[in-house]
């Protein structure tokens, strides 16, 4: 039997709790398990990026840079993987090229080994600066095909995107299925086509969420098609709106040509630990941490991390009874805004527009600035044109941006450093300047308490 071992990236330290516990896992929750996770033999441990940076500063009173340094000091064997939003870095807007470059260099210096870099619209122009900085810093650069379903998104369109990412230096390609939309046989065809294309020619990694209930089946078909790495979460933080289960995936492949070589028995104690962590997060933060499979995601297409946050936000506003109505409005808004994949920040942009439409009972009566910016092209090119009727209603005859949006942003690092000095932090580290760049008000509140 010829061996084609599949590797696993463990997501319990990032996407697992982002999807099921609103990104509230604390560094102290992670520390007792790090040595065992490091010794498992994973491809990588996803432990930074995504919404963790914001959550550290805003909710947990942690310095995300210090978290990264501490994680790195314990993870000696396994690379730390992180999720980067291209020109958006880890925020919700585009930043100047010098900020993107400085951020990437600093995160590699502080411990990141694998950088998964994506753009919400799959606009490669928004990835070029981050990918270049990552290559220069010596990290493994993983270019992302953000997966979604629309009249535009086809196997051919993803192959073309993967080719463009490889041309820009991607060491591997990730199919990022943030909403659990990728069906098993479609996954087989997509992975097979990517593996066969000579212009791609790099390892393929697959990331999905269990939201629709298809995750494990999708992985199995992708593995049969030759996928190299799959993302899984340890059992307490698996399934629902998170990833397929690590232990189950190891067991399913044991004794086959795809055997991961990982020992499931080595995860028992870690799983017990994270089971207790999950209970404490639910109790300490008043969170709903369990989400049922919902095949309707195939229609409303909302990513796992957003589902848990969305429900908790509606609950805070006392309008959780409008949850289903909101889910039905999302795909309508998405189609009208040019079928953007629903991933940060476009998921929040489409989500906020749908929320206003449902709350006010009149569509596009109140339009957030970000929605207008999306329609103008400020985030990049949408897969399909924005509905003419909606565009006219929300931005009138404003000019459309048809070039790389960040070309309009002057260098910011010197100005940000000066601003921070004026606010009482003249000796701020580059890391602190970068935290301030992404989340000015939140970072300042954090500095007041911790500097």
pLDDT digits (tens, 9 = 90+) for 225-244: 999 999 999 999 999 999 99
Residue 270 lies in a domain: yes
**Nearest Cα residue to 312 out of 287, 294, 279:** 287
Strand partners, 9: 44, 231
Residue 272 lies in a domain: yes
Which residue, 252, 285, 318, sits at the end of a domain? 285
Mean pLDDT rounded to a whole number for the chain: 94
Are residues 255 and 333 both part of a single domain? no
What integer pLDDT is reported at residue 323 of this predicted model? 82
What percent of the chain shows pLDDT beyond 90?
Answer: 84
What integer pLDDT is reported at residue 387 of this predicted model? 95
Are residues 198 and 102 both part of a single domain? yes
Cα separations (Å) of 93 from 50, 65, 346, 371?
Answer: 14, 20, 10, 12
Are residues 77 and 144 both part of a single domain? yes
CATH number at residue 21: 3.20.20.70
How many Å apart are CA 39 and CA 85, to the nearest integer? 29
How many Å apart are CA 197 and CA 173, to the nearest integer? 13
Are residues 344 and 421 both part of a single domain? no
End-to-end distance of the chain based on CA atoms, in angstroms? 59
Q: For the chain, how many structural domains are there in total?
A: 3
**Nearest Cα residue to 49 out of 62, 65, 70, 33:** 65
Residue 354 lies in a domain: yes
Are residues 97 and 130 both part of a single domain? yes
Residue 308 pLDDT level (bands cut at 50, 70, 90): low
Residue 1 lies in a domain: no
Are residues 228 and 328 both part of a single domain? no
pLDDT tens digits, one per residue of 173-191: 999 999 999 999 999 999 9
> Looking at the chain, how many residues does it have?
451
Residue 327 lies in a domain: yes
CATH number at residue 358: 1.10.472.90
* Structure tokens, 258: 């795809």
pLDDT at 342 over 70: yes
Are residues 317 and 277 both part of a single domain? no
Residue 443 lies in a domain: yes
How many Å apart are CA 349 and CA 206, to the nearest integer? 25
Cα separations (Å) of 164 from 266, 330, 341, 417?
Answer: 40, 30, 18, 35
How many Å apart are CA 405 and CA 146, to the nearest integer? 19
Residue 291 lies in a domain: no
For 130, the 3-state DSSP assignment is helix
What integer pLDDT is reported at residue 104 of this predicted model? 98
Are residues 185 and 323 both part of a single domain? no
Are residues 152 and 70 both part of a single domain? yes
Are residues 380 and 240 both part of a single domain? no
How many Å apart are CA 150 and CA 182, to the nearest integer? 12
pLDDT at 372 over 70: yes
For 389, the 3-state DSSP assignment is helix
Residue 311 pLDDT level (bands cut at 50, 70, 90): confident
Who contacts 149 (Cβ-Cβ below 8 Å, separation ≥6)?
A: 181, 298, 301
pLDDT tens digits, one per residue of 404-440: 999 999 999 999 999 999 999 999 999 999 999 999 9
pLDDT at 304 over 60: no
Who contacts 222 (Cβ-Cβ below 8 Å, separation ≥6)?
A: 187, 188, 190, 191, 206, 230
Mean pLDDT in residue range 350-356: 88
Cα separations (Å) of 40 from 111, 223, 246, 356?
Answer: 19, 20, 12, 46
* Structure tokens, 349: 């942009």
Residue 218 pLDDT level (bands cut at 50, 70, 90): very high
Are residues 99 and 174 both part of a single domain? yes
Which residue, 395, 420, 440, sits at the end of a domain? 395
Residue 1 pLDDT level (bands cut at 50, 70, 90): low
Residue 400 lies in a domain: no
Asked if residues 179 and 302 have their Cβ atoms less than 8 Å apart, the reply is yes
pTM metric for this prediction? 0.93
Asked if residues 9 and 232 have their Cβ atoms less than 8 Å apart, the reply is yes
pLDDT tens digits, one per residue of 68-127: 999 999 999 999 999 999 999 999 889 999 999 999 999 999 999 999 999 999 999 999
Are residues 386 and 269 both part of a single domain? no
Q: What is the dihedral of CA 19, 24, 29, 34, to 10 degrees?
A: 50
CA 369 to centroid of chain Cα atoms: 23
Cα separations (Å) of 107 from 29, 112, 374, 415, 434?
Answer: 22, 6, 28, 21, 10
Structural domain of 324: 302-395
Residue 301 pLDDT level (bands cut at 50, 70, 90): confident
What integer pLDDT is reported at residue 83 of this predicted model? 98
What integer pLDDT is reported at residue 356 of this predicted model? 85
Q: List phi, psi (to 5°) of 281.
A: -65, -45
Strand partners, 174: 144, 205
What integer pLDDT is reported at residue 6 of this predicted model? 98
CB neighbour class for 252 (10 Å; exposed up to 12, middle 13-18, buried from 19)? middle
């Amino acid at each position: 039997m010829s061996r084609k071992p599949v590797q696993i990236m463990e997501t319990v330290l990032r996407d697992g709790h982002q999807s099921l516990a609103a990104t509230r896992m604390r560094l102290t929750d992670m520390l007792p398990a790090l040595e065992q996770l490091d010794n498992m033999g994973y491809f990588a441990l996803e432990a930074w990026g995504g919404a963790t940076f914001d959550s550290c500063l805003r909710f947990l009173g942690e310095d995300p840079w210090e978290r990264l340094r501490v994680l790195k000091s314990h993870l000696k064997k396994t690379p730390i993987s992180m999720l980067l939003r291209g020109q958006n870095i880890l925020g919700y807007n585009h930043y100047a090229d010098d900020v993107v470059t400085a951020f990437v260099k600093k995160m590699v210096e502080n411990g990141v080994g694998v950088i998964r870099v994506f753009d919400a619209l799959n606009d490669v122009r928004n990835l070029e600066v981050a990918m270049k900085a990552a290559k220069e810093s010596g990290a493994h650069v993983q270019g992302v095909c953000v997966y979604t379903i629309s009249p535009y998104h086809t196997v051919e369109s993803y192959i073309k995107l993967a080719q463009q990412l490889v041309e820009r230096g991607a060491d591997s390609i990730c199919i990022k299925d943030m909403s659990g939309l990728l069906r098993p046989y479609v996954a087989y065809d997509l992975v097979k086509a990517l593996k066969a294309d000579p212009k791609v020619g790099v390892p393929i990694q697959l990331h999905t969420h269990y939201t629709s209930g298809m995750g494990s089946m999708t992985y199995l078909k992708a593995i049969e098609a030759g996928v190299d790495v799959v993302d899984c979460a340890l059992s307490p933080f698996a399934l629902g709106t998170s990833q397929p289960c690590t232990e189950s995936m190891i067991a399913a492949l044991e004794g086959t040509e795809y055997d991961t070589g990982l020992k499931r028995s080595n995860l028992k104690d870690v799983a017990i630990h994270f089971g207790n962590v999950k209970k404490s997060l639910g109790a300490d933060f008043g969170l709903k941490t369990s989400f049922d499979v919902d095949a309707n995601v195939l229609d409303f297409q909302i990513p796992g991390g957003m589902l848990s946050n969305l429900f908790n936000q509606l609950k805070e506003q006392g309008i959780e009874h409008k949850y289903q109505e909101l889910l039905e409005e999302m795909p309508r808004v998405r189609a009208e805004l040019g079928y953007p994949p629903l991933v940060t920040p476009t998921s929040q942009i489409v989500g906020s527009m749908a929320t206003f439409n449902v709350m006010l009972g009149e569509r596009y009566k109140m339009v957030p600035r970000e929605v207008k910016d999306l329609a103008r092209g400020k985030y990049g090119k949408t897969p399909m044109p924005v509905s003419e009727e909606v565009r006219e209603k929300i931005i009138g005859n404003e000019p459309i941006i048809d070039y790389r949006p960040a070309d309009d942003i002057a260098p910011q690092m010197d100005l940000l450093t000066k601003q921070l000095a004026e606010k009482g932090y003249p000796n701020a580290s580059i890391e602190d300047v970068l935290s301030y760049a992404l989340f000015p008000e939140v970072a300042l509140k954090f500095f007041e308490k911790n500097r």
